[in-house]
Structure 1
Amino acid sequence: MTDVPFSELALDPRIEKSVEAMGFTAATPIQAQVIPLIRSGADVIAKSQTGTGKTAAFAIPALEAVDTQEAKVTIQVLVLCPTRELAQQAGEEIRKLSRFLPGIRLAEVYGGANMERQFIQLRRANIVVGTPGRVMDHMRRGTVKLQHLRMIVLDEADEMLNMGFKEDIETILQDTPQERQTVLFSATMPPAILALAKTFQMNPQTVEINASQVTLEQIDQSCVEAPASRKMEALNLLLRYHRPNRALIFCNTKHMVDELGEYLNTHGFSAESIHGDMKQPQRTRVMNEFKRGRVDILIATDVAARGIDVNDLDYVFNYDIPLNTEYYVHRIGRTGRAGKSGSSITLFSGKRQMGILRNLARAVKSEIRVDPLPTQEAIRLREHQRNVETVVRALEAGAGDGYEFMVEQLTARGYTGERIAAAALSLRFPESALPAEAAGKANRETRREGDQPSRVPKAKAGPAAYGDVVVDIGSANRVEPKHLVGAITERSGLSGKEVGKIDIYPEFSVVGIPTDRVGDVLDTMKGCKICGRPTRTTRLAESEREEGRPARKGSKAAQFAGERIAKRNQARAGGPVRRKRKIPDFEG
């Protein structure tokens, strides 16, 4: 269906002015079909996914239907939503659309909000948006009276039934006038929805926007295979490779949402989790943090994510494969909005899940590309390319003005422009972000002309090729080997196989590192958070390891480590926590 300009829908001029102020010129398919039907007074059933503009589809004709000249204000429109977040979202959209309409008085009623404030709003409201449970509560108190209701909208009706609101919805509908108009929106059409429509609607007009009609052209869809036991490590690599500005990760269970959130935060990502078992104030805080950009990654279940409406979401990750085609479209449709491009990446394990993805691709008539898991070298190269683009943007914006005199001084000392620029870049970008070949070249070139290469023969691989570092966090903070390995590999570029023996004590941990990489690890681990706690990493000299002598310099953890390591063989009872680590097959 071709786009229909809002100017052709003959909207109230004041609403059309609001639509233009919101930056919209053409109606979406669901808006173009539903707005005229609701205006005609017919009952409507609309099957549509989130992100297709359905809120405006019912809000615009609802606003036009409100009589703002009543002598006594009454509730004329009621919008029911499954969650507080969706009610807030619908209320916000209605306020924007009624910006130039005097006399529109909106009340939002949902759990977790101040009842007294709702009482005050309801006394003067002609439009009410709320959740079924709280609307029922106000009906029992007599603060919501529906005898003058003209229109009722059931938004996300399938989810309201899934959440157990069937009896509440039926009770509310039975308490409304017989001649009221009933508009029902649902992403799916299970038998329960059809039964509800048959009971409470009169000759409803049906509009269906199929998954194949939803615009997915702006979304790059791909999938990556990962063993079920290593999906967290795989997601870690994908996030480091793509570095999304803002991402939404979907899981099928609340338990996995919590577990994945804990994992990502212990590995240096800024992530929050949201699901139905969380208390409302906590859910509100998480949603606000994500919408304001204070949190980069949000992990959610399908139901909890229904209230998320963010236009600048650039990545959607399906940690678990969605349960059906509608959920898949519902998930990935949260990116690629408002004319912007977006990406969706789905993790799968084995041939059976690969088959499910093929069926999804056929259903949505799109290609879901199979990509390999990025390697550590690919991640470094991608980071290097991002850094180059950062410098290009800075140059194009005129960065560096005022530093010419400093450049002249350095040039006068015999340094070339290339070396000055390289030194300046090294202050901004760590060497770990360089590709391996470039990093090796940089190391060779930074050696002074008078330096001579070391004549000491290279040690053979084995215990002698490892040195120890001390990290001042231990079992008292519930640290485990996987936390230490994850932090070190992510920061330094070491692979998990290169990390040596790990001894965890209550207040600190000792980690074996290849001797030629100890310096890199000490540099890159500065300011690293492990298990949510800032840590300090110091060197443990080989003589201190063998003799148990405390280091003269360094952290207290390093001093204690020197003493404790010498006695660890005699202190097995109550001594260090030792675990044989199972190293992932992934690089890093």
Structure 2
Amino acid sequence: MALARPTRLLASLAARLLLGPRRSLAVHAPDEALLPVVRIPRSFQRRHERREGRHRRSPQRPVLTRPGPLLVSARRPELNQPARLTLGRWECAPLASRGWRHRRARRDHFSIERAQQQAPALQTPSSDSSFSDLGLEPRVLRALLETAPQVVRPTTVQSSTIPTLLGGRHVLCAAETGSGKTLSYLLPLFQRLMGQPRLDGGPRIPSPRGLVLVPSRELAQQVRSVAQPLGRSLGLQVQELEGGQGMRRVTLQLSSQPSADVLVATPGALGKALRKQLLSLERLTFLVLDEADTLLDDSFLELVEYILEKSHIAGDPSDLADPFNPKAQLVLVGATFPEGVGQLLNKVARPHSLTTITSSRLHCIMPHVRQTFLRLKGTDKVTELLEILKRRDRVDRTGTPGALLVFCNSSSTVNWLGYILEDHKIQHLRLQGQMPALRRAGIFQDFQKGSRDVLLCTDIASRGLDSTRVQLVINYDFPLTLQDYIHRAGRVGRVGSEVPGTVISFVTHPWDVNLVQKIELAARRRRSLPGLPSSVSEPVPVPVDSVPPRKTAT
């Protein structure tokens, strides 16, 4: 006990020396022994005074958010942005994801809220507009009413595209996902074929008059399922040509309907049929490149150029008038467009014959879909996904939560996640490009019909597929490009969907953070996503004595 008291006194003395104001001290211990003078560095004292001053101040007042809807809601309220506020182009934006490259940002999150309930594609200039006002014949209108009675009024894209195609012009239609682009070209296609006589003679191999080129077998099945009832009602035959099972399968498909009027095909199968001379494009009068941004990338470009060389593309609308010398009208459709579209079109058509139809929402964040971003460690993503699925199951007991898409960047991740969901007794389907063709066939159609409500997939399911059942999209792996993000998010909030839907994205890597910051900044400024390489907004190069291409904005 004799040593305890001096020890406590020395500890107290040390604290007073370090934390007290600067002065020379001489303190006598109980035994009256004189201690040396300790001088405190002035920089240390100032730092301590500033720290103490912050603690002595009254606590900061909470940030008060103005009442009203929000455009961006963050975990930290001071980073919220009201819906009525729009940042200028050069105005500094307080990004909620600014510090997400640091590990301390894990579990942080923010959301881009819904600015409206209705899809922009349904906001036509006139609410009284109808398909009969677009120049469609009564027979086509009756066929549309019989096969798709739920389609009452045309969307904004359809109101601009259908009259232009009926006028005989080549069209490049660039509009947001889920805006009704398929009917935009199918209805003029059928009306054009009905007005042409069937020519006798010519090639003895199948020679379709209409061709729809799509990048995937799933999209080919979907377009065929929409076109076949319409064609049957009009007395026209629609056939599907898809690859993945060798030349024997291609030959059987062509021999089943040798006199088909419209062919829906993938580039691989069609290229094989043309090289083996199992098919001819001499009578082609209507050529559509659906999801043209994918068809014109490096993986398909060589095949597409070969198919275009075999097609007789009309130079201008006057070339389409001769039924005995068929020329094809060209249509390119997509939600995003790469560079080089103009150069490719210059090889097959005259520049002044092209009409570019663009949507005001092209390359923009969808305003009617809530999009949430979660900053997570890679090891936490499985736990977060399972928690979302469990919450969804709890909702399922009280109501119908709708279908769910989980996107991954690789086929191996899809398979690995599938094994985990099986261990947790969660029923699901898987769709990825490395599946054998026989196993892959019909998976997305089963999902559309409701056999399962959870689909694990790669980007093969993000292009053009109808997903009106889907109410939630989860980016388990954040997409590698902004184009992929647009297409994945476009699986919800489509025309015909009962609810706008939600997108949840897991953000893990530094390169993910870079894309998220671009998305957040574009949302706060209400501008299109930056850095998307597109030549849609640029006119196609034309000779000096030519007429510049016409543009229509929807």
Query: TM-score when scaled to structure 1?
Result: 0.58
2:258 alignment partner in structure 1:
123
| Cα gap change, 1:26 to 1:215, in 2 (>3 Å) | farther
Q: Output the amino acid matched with 1:32.
A: S
1:212 to partner: Cα distance: 5.5
1:339 to partner: Cα distance: 4.5
1:365 to partner: Cα distance: 6.5
Q: Is the 8 A contact 1:122 1:143 kept in 2?
A: no
Residues in 2 aligned to 1:142 and 1:239: alpha-carbon distance in whole angstroms: 50
Q: Is the 8 A contact 1:31 1:53 kept in 2?
A: yes
1:308 alignment partner in structure 2:
465
Give the one of 382, 388, 393 matched to 1:232: 382
Query: Which moves more between the two structures, 213-222 or 330-339?
Result: 213-222
Give the one of 131, 154, 159 matched to 1:32: 159
Query: Which moves more between the two structures, 317-326 or 75-84?
Result: 317-326
Q: Output the amino acid matched with 1:106.
A: V
Q: Output the amino acid matched with 1:72.
A: D
2:141 alignment partner in structure 1:
16
| Cα gap change, 1:324 to 1:110, in 2 (>3 Å) | same
Give the one of 95, 105, 111 matched to 2:237: 105
| Cα gap change, 1:353 to 1:120, in 2 (>3 Å) | closer
| Cα gap change, 1:92 to 1:352, in 2 (>3 Å) | closer
Q: Deviations over 1:98-137 (max 9, x none)?
A: 34312x1112111146335423344211211101121122
Q: Deviations over 1:22-47 (max 9, x none)?
A: 11112122211111111111111122
SS in 1 for 2:479: coil
1:272 alignment partner in structure 2:
429
| Cα gap change, 1:296 to 1:133, in 2 (>3 Å) | same
RMSD (CA atoms): 2.6
SS in 2 for 1:26: coil
Q: Is the 8 A contact 2:403 2:472 kept in 1?
A: yes
Percent identity over the alignment is: 29
1:343 alignment partner in structure 2:
502
| Cα gap change, 1:283 to 1:101, in 2 (>3 Å) | same
SS in 2 for 1:185: strand
1:80 alignment partner in structure 2:
213
Q: Is the 8 A contact 2:238 2:262 kept in 1?
A: yes
Q: Deviations over 1:121-159 (max 9, x none)?
A: 442112111011211222233331111211211111221
1:93 and 2:223 correspond: no
| Cα gap change, 1:115 to 1:321, in 2 (>3 Å) | closer
Mark the runs of 5 or more structure 1 residues left unpaired by the alignment. Answer: 368-588
Q: Output the amino acid matched with 1:207.
A: I
Q: How many residues align?
A: 366
1:6 and 2:131 correspond: yes
Give the one of 35, 57, 66 matched to 2:184: 57
- Name the one with the larger helix percent: 1
1:61 to partner: Cα distance: 0.7
- RCO higher in 1 or 2 (8 Å CA, sep ≥ 6)? 2
SS in 2 for 1:182: strand
Q: Is the 8 A contact 1:218 1:340 kept in 2?
A: no
1:207 alignment partner in structure 2:
357
1:196 and 2:357 correspond: no
1:214 to partner: Cα distance: 7.2
1:133 and 2:264 correspond: no
Q: Deviations over 1:390-425 (max 9, x none)?
A: xxxxxxxxxxxxxxxxxxxxxxxxxxxxxxxxxxxx
Q: Deviations over 1:351-374 (max 9, x none)?
A: 87456334314435699xxxxxxx
Query: TM-score when scaled to structure 2?
Result: 0.61
Q: Deviations over 1:473-493 (max 9, x none)?
A: xxxxxxxxxxxxxxxxxxxxx
| Cα gap change, 1:214 to 1:259, in 2 (>3 Å) | same
| Cα gap change, 1:366 to 1:329, in 2 (>3 Å) | farther
Q: Output the amino acid matched with 1:89.
A: Q
1:220 alignment partner in structure 2:
370
1:285 to partner: Cα distance: 4.1
Give the one of 249, 252, 260 matched to 2:417: 260
1:292 and 2:449 correspond: yes
Query: What are the equivalent positions in structure 2 for 1:564-579 lying under 5 Å apart?
Result: none
Q: Deviations over 1:302-353 (max 9, x none)?
A: 1343363232111111112223333223212212331421121112237874
SS in 2 for 1:303: helix
Mark the runs of 5 or more structure 2 residues left unpaired by the alignment. Answer: 1-123, 202-206, 315-327, 394-400, 527-554
SS in 1 for 2:212: strand
Residues in 2 aligned to 1:91 and 1:300: alpha-carbon distance in whole angstroms: 22
